[in-house]
């Protein structure tokens, strides 16, 4: 039986965390555990995570000292998954945008790939209640990385993913450029560079149930920075005859 670690990065998700955890555990998927990575949320999400871990043996918590970014929280989760011998790592938002009901399909897709993306932009997928600005931003980010990094998947900025841990081990996680949201695109790029098989599983993305967004202008700049940095590294590696990234 494959073992899966679901990594829930949290920053001020007090109202969402408990129902999210209960919905995931309620699926009763065999071999599935949850890791909450909380960045010292001022709203007390970390305490709720501790309470949940006392109630559920399947759940553990990592407390970090401050807001270090979504990407770095997910890297932390991946490192622990490697250490504890999990087969798969799932990353998902803790605000119900990524509905737990899709977990079985996402994990099942791993039979034929090394990275399964919960995708909004394949037939059957989509977004609910998004305004024009949000749609444009998402389209812009995806188009930019598909052109800038030559990425093949339709939804490269999706945070709902299932990674094959064995393949993750072929990536030097200490050399990841993106600390924040651009981590999503960078991981697609790195899996594509490895020649890994990437599948897209349709999901309907819903707006967060409660709480506030952590999306910021800094995250948008972070995407530009990451793409240019990765292009530059690739060029430098080619020129020097080294393959490494
Ligand atoms: N640990 C940690 N989690 C973070 C950080 N930034 C964001 N998150 C979490 O990452 C997930 C995605 O953040 P969101 O604010 O939902 O971003 P979004 O989905 O683009 O925006 P909305 O859902 O529209 O609010 C949520 O579970 C956040 O709590 C961070 O710096 N550290
Ligand atoms: Mg969200």
Cβ of 10 less than 6 Å from ligand 1: yes
- Supply the mean pLDDT for the chain: 96
Would you say residue 58 has pLDDT above 80?
A: yes
Cβ of 214 less than 6 Å from ligand 1: yes
Query: What stretches of the chain adopt beta strand conformation (E)?
Result: 4-10, 32-38, 59-63, 88-92, 115-119, 126-127, 161-164, 198-202, 204-205
| Alpha carbon distance 29, 38 (integer Å) | 24
What's the Rg (C-alpha) of the chain?
17
C-alpha distance from residue 105 to each of 48, 108, 239 (Å): 28, 5, 42
Closest atom of ligand 1 relative to the 16 alpha carbon: 27
Would you say residue 245 has pLDDT above 80?
A: no
Per-residue pLDDT tens digits for 106-121: 999 999 999 999 999 9
Residues counted in the chain:
245
Closest atom of ligand 1 relative to the 39 alpha carbon: 1
Per-residue pLDDT tens digits for 197-225: 999 999 999 998 899 888 889 999 999 99
**Residue to mutate (ligand 1; options 44, 80, 93; most atoms within 8 A of CB):** 93
User: SS3 for 3-15, per residue?
Assistant: CEEEEEEECCCHH
The pLDDT of residue 231: 95
**C-alpha 242 to ligand 1 mean position (Å):** 36
| Alpha carbon distance 82, 7 (integer Å) | 13
The pLDDT of residue 113: 98
* Residue appearing with tokens 């999503």: 184
The model's pTM is 0.96
The pLDDT of residue 88: 98
């Amino acid at each position: 039986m494959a073992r899966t670690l679901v990594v829930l990065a949290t920053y001020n998700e007090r109202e969402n965390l408990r129902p999210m955890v209960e919905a995931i555990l309620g699926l009763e998927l065999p071999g599935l555990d949850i890791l909450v990575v909380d960045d010292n949320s001022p709203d007390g999400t970390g305490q709720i995570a501790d309470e949940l871990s006392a109630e559920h043996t399947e759940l553990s918590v990592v407390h970090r000292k401050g807001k270090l970014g979504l990407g770095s929280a997910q890297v932390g989760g991946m490192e622990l998954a490697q250490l504890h011998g999990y087969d798969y790592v799932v990353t998902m938002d803790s605000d119900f945008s990524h509905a737990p009901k899709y977990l079985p399909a996402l994990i099942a897709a791993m039979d034929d790939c090394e990275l399964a993306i919960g995708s909004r932009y394949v037939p059957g997928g989509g977004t609910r209640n998004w305004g024009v600005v949000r749609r444009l931003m998402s389209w812009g980010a995806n188009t930019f990385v598909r052109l800038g990094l030559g990425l093949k998947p339709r939804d490269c900025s999706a945070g709902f993913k299932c990674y094959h841990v064995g393949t993750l081990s072929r990536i030097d996680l200490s050399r990841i450029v993106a600390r924040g949201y651009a981590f999503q695109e960078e991981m697609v790029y790195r899996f594509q560079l490895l020649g890994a098989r990437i599948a897209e599983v349709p999901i309907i993305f819903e707006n967060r149930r409660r709480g506030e967004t952590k999306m910021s202008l800094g995250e948008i700049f972070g995407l530009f920075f990451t793409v240019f940095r990765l292009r530059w590294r690739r060029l430098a590696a080619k020129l020097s005859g080294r393959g490494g990234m």
